[in-house]
Amino acid sequence: MSHICDAIVVCCIDFRFQKFIRDWTDKNLAGKTFDLVGYAGSTKDLDTILKQIDISVRLHRITRVVLIHHEECGAYGSESTPDRHRNDLFKAKSSILSLNPHLTVDLYYLTLSGEFISVSNP
Ligand SMILES: [Zn+2]
């Protein structure tokens, strides 16, 4: 039996942000299904995340990827600056698209106050 879903959401493990992320997916992925990856630093360990996305593509035929980094990320420590997150999000997006050009990849920077800032192409 095949089971397919719409998207994969990749975010950090950090508990402070899970409610914000749930609220966001309830609103922005309403009526859709998605795989969920929680990993410290979100896409910081990009090879690991690419493997998860590859599985999601092969098993669940997703068409959309949502990558969420957040403010004050412990996995980045003192390197957790908006610029660093932006750069890593772009790097992840370009790696994902080079492997799977058909995917839509959306990038977000989530603040401590729960605001999702869309990170668009440089
Ligand atoms: Zn984090």
φ, ψ (nearest 5 deg) of residue 46? -65, -40
| 73 CA → ligand 1 middle, Å | 4
pLDDT of residue 1: 56
| 76 CA → ligand 1 middle, Å | 7
Tell me 30's DSSP state. Answer: T
Q: What's the pLDDT tens digit per position in 102-111?
A: 999 999 999 9
Task: Per residue of the chain (122 residues), give pLDDT as tens.
Answer: 579 999 999 999 999 999 999 999 999 999 999 999 999 999 999 999 999 999 999 999 999 999 999 999 999 999 999 999 999 999 999 999 999 999 999 999 999 999 999 998 65
Distance in angstroms (rounded) separating the CA atoms of residues 86 and 102: 22
Residue of 85, 48, 91, 47 lying closest to 68 (CA atoms):
85
Architecture field, domain 7-118: 3-Layer(aba) Sandwich (3.40)
| 106 CA → ligand 1 middle, Å | 18
| 13 CA → ligand 1 middle, Å | 6
Domain segments of the chain as ranges: 7-118
| 111 CA → ligand 1 middle, Å | 11
| 11 CA → ligand 1 middle, Å | 8
The overall pTM is greater than 0.85: yes
